[in-house]
Structures are given as structure tokens and as C-alpha cells.
Amino acid sequence: MLSVLLIILPIFALILAGWGARRMGVLGPQAATEINRFVVWLALPALLFGIMAKAHWGEVWQPDFIGTFVGGALAVFVLTLLWRRRSRPLADAAIDGLNAGYANTAFLGFPLMLAVFGSAGLAPTLIATILTVCVLFAGALIVVDIGLQTGGSKRAMLANLLKSLARNPLVLSPAAGALFLLAGWELPAPVDRFVTLLGGAASPCALVGLGLFLADAPAGKAAAGRVVAALVALKLLVQPLLTWLLAAHVFHLSPAMTGAAVLLAALPTGTGPFMAAEFHGREAGVTARVILLSTILSLATLTVLLTVIG
């Protein structure tokens, strides 16, 4: 439990730093918006581009593991989307689907998997990160954009959707990185350094921005509290369970790869859904609370899971 705590503790520290800076007046009321704009338009696109561009095909092409992890994540996303669509607009339901299925593989996955599996855990974590940001996240953003298209003919709506996607840095950046991966190109050293420096700011700035947002957010209603609890349960309990079923009974992964897939699926919600909500101007209160609560509770759920995995 101590090892998990030491890995998760910096996340709380960054959120607390943003919360404290806003509460003490060190940063003003527009700070959260400006930091989130920096993350969405500069830091996160650099991170997504770098993850894809610097991957190696031999490392990431593991079809059974891909099917297991993306199958669990997409199943939870679709189930949540259908549930939330009954009472929420499609765009908001898609963001809630991300809340339930977007694992924090980039920020928490690498140190945790390295501690548990050693260097053997790095390849599945890289695959899970690529699938999370380039399949689940990008797909959800497309659904959000579809939900935001209103009125006009189907042709006009499709044209507006394509224009929206063409201006979305969170879709374009991993797509550009995928070109480098598929072509086998290497990033020039100065470009690699630029992408690394800028992308490295994405996670800490997003967490500080989350703290700033929470400092100004009003207390949630009881109904919102129930939704948050359900989304956290879907993330921490249902997604790893579905992933285990796929790993053990559909794709028949080895015990080690099964443990890796389930552990990655059990990670708490990352900051991607919060960035998506802010970028599209959607209400982000539920998303912020899901990220915070799932991160807190994952200390217990990950400890239990690590005990079971052995």
C-alpha cells in the first residue's frame, strides 16, 4: 500500500497546489481557464504527438493485448454513453463515457507498472496509453462534436463536423504522430527535445488547473453526487472486471499480461475528460469530482488488486 501511496501522492500534491493558490489569491479567477487553454492548445497536443511519433511498431503491435484493453475501455464507454444519453445531451454523455473509461495510464501507469512488473511492464503501458489517447479519447471527441452539431441538412452537419475536427488539436496531434509511426520516421533531435519539454508540462499543469477549478466550483447536488459515485464505480470496478473477462476468457492472455491489462484498466480517471469538457465549453464539475474521487479511492482498489495479482 505504501508503494501505491508514494506513486499517487504527487497527483494530490499538484491538485492541492492549484487549490491552495486559488484560495490564497495567488492566482486569479481566470487562472484555471488560461492554464487549461495552455494544456489543450500546446502541452497536451505535444504529449499526444510525442507518444505516437516515438513509439515503435514492434513494441505496440500485440493484437490480443490491444483487443483486451481497448475492448474493456470501449465497453465501459458505450455502456456509460447509453445510460447518460437518457438524461443528458450527447456531448455531455460522451464526456461521462470518458469519465468512466479513461484510465490515467500516462501519469500513473508507467511508475506503477515499473514498480510491479519491472521493465516488462513498460510495453503494455505504452500500448494502453496509445489506445487511451488515440482510440478512446479521439473517438469520444468525435462523438462530442457530433452531439454539438445542430440544424441544417446531413451534408451541412457532416461538413461542420469535419471542420470542427480539423481545428481540434487533440485530434490532429495524435493523427500527425501516427504518420511518423506508420512511416517509421525519427523525430529530429531539436524537435524531439521541444516535444518532450512541452509535453512534459501537460499532466502537472492539467492537475494544477483541476485544483484551481475545484477551488471555485460550488458544492455538487445530491443527484450529481450519485452520478459521480456511479461513474467512479464503473471506472474502478467494472472496467477492470470486463478487462479480466476479455483477457482470461476471450483472448487467453498469459497470467502476466492478464495482470498488466487488469491493473492498467483499474487506474483512476485521468485528466483527459476534464480537458475535453473545458475545450468544448461543457460543465466540468462532475468530471473534476470523478477524477479526484477515483484517484483517492484507487489507493484502496489498486492495493487490493496488487494483492490478488501477487
Name the residue with cell 512541452: 198
Q: Residue 151: count other Cβ atoms within 10 Å of its Cβ.
A: 7
Radius of gyration of the chain (CA): 19
Please say whether the beta carbons of 37 and 102 come within 8 A.
no
Residue 151 has a pLDDT of 61
Please say whether the beta carbons of 69 and 127 come within 8 A.
yes
Residue 40 has a pLDDT of 81
Residue 218 has a pLDDT of 64
Which of 1.10.110.30, 1.20.1530.20, 3.40.50.10380, 3.90.550.10 would CATH assign to domain 2-309?
A: 1.20.1530.20
Q: Would you give the DSSP letter of residue 54?
A: T
* Cα separation, 101 vs 64, whole angstroms: 19
Residue 17 has a pLDDT of 92
* Cα separation, 120 vs 105, whole angstroms: 15
Residue 197 has a pLDDT of 94
Q: What is the pLDDT along the chain (310 residues), one digit of tens a residue?
A: 666 777 778 877 888 899 999 989 999 888 888 988 898 889 888 988 888 888 777 777 899 999 999 999 999 999 999 999 998 999 999 999 999 999 988 778 887 887 788 878 888 988 898 889 878 988 888 898 888 876 665 666 667 667 766 777 877 888 888 888 888 888 999 999 999 999 888 888 888 888 888 887 665 555 578 999 999 999 999 999 999 999 999 999 999 999 999 999 999 998 889 888 887 888 788 898 998 899 889 888 988 888 887 6
CA nearest neighbour of 105 among 267, 309, 275, 301: 267
* Cα separation, 20 vs 310, whole angstroms: 38
Residue spans of the domains in the chain: they are: 2-309
